[in-house]
Amino acid sequence: MKDIKAIFKYKSADEKKLLEYGFKKTGKKGVLEFKKRLPESGFEMLVRYDGHEVSPEVIDPFDGGAYTLFLQETATGKFLGKINEEFFSTLEDIAEKCFHMSPFKERASQKVIEFAQKTYSSRLEFLWDDLPNVAVLRRNDTDKWFGIIFSLPKRRLGIDSDETVEFMNLRGDPDQIQSIIDSQKFFPAYHMNKKHWYTLLLDGSVKLAEIKTRIKKSYALALKNHAAKKTLKPRKGGISACGKIMHRD
């Protein structure tokens, strides 16, 4: 029996592609739904995406309830086999056409991504096609970044190792950032404004509880900075011609 979660594991949704595929917005914030008639059985398939996970089910047309018999390990027979085939082929098609692989495999990275989604409804944004291992998290109200997740060799941050690991850039108070830097777990911001940002390792060396606390602080600073600068001309940020993250307040 195929595993539903495995189909979408390490994948991030592209909302635009989901809508193009046929998903519809519901009355609930961030929730999309897709309905499809399974031609071989006449049953209806409902796929719900809430910004965090995909929840599919098959609806029995006779009583309107969820039909799960085809998912049981002991299920046999041509009829159940057809439903199973249609069900999983649809999910695999959605995963292929509307999701992309997340390059971030560290447990800490996965927990950070999950925390940002559940706490702030912020999803990873892969903004640059030539940098598939760089993604940003932003506030939905100010559009300001509060986090950047990326992977690169440790040596790029001054560590004597060519091992490629995952890092995160976060906002910090300018008068406190220097006291954070230890060049072991916390580093000067990689290709960001070092006055306002710093980099931390996502390899497990920093406890998840501390990372979450620092994310909350960064999220708050993204609002504070926006309020302080909303009447000023914004500084440009993004990716340079050589493919590096440029300084951004």
Please give the Cα distance from 222 to 138 (Å, whole number).
8
pLDDT of residue 1: 59
pLDDT of residue 242: 31
- Domain boundaries 107-229, CATH class: alpha beta
pTM: 0.61
pLDDT of residue 226: 57
Assign 186 to helix, strand or coil: strand
pLDDT of residue 225: 60
pLDDT of residue 75: 76
25 strand-pairing partners: 32
Give every CB contact of residue 103 below 8 A, 6+ residues apart in sequence. Answer: 132, 133, 151
Please give the Cα distance from 40 to 79 (Å, whole number).
8
**Helix axes 107-120 and 208-229, enclosed angle (nearest 10):** 50
pLDDT tens, position by position, 199-238: 999 999 999 999 999 999 999 999 876 554 443 333 344 4
Domain boundaries, the chain: 4-101, 107-229
Of 84, 204, 218, residue with least CA distance to 147: 218
List the chain residues with pLDDT less than 50: 228-244, 246-247
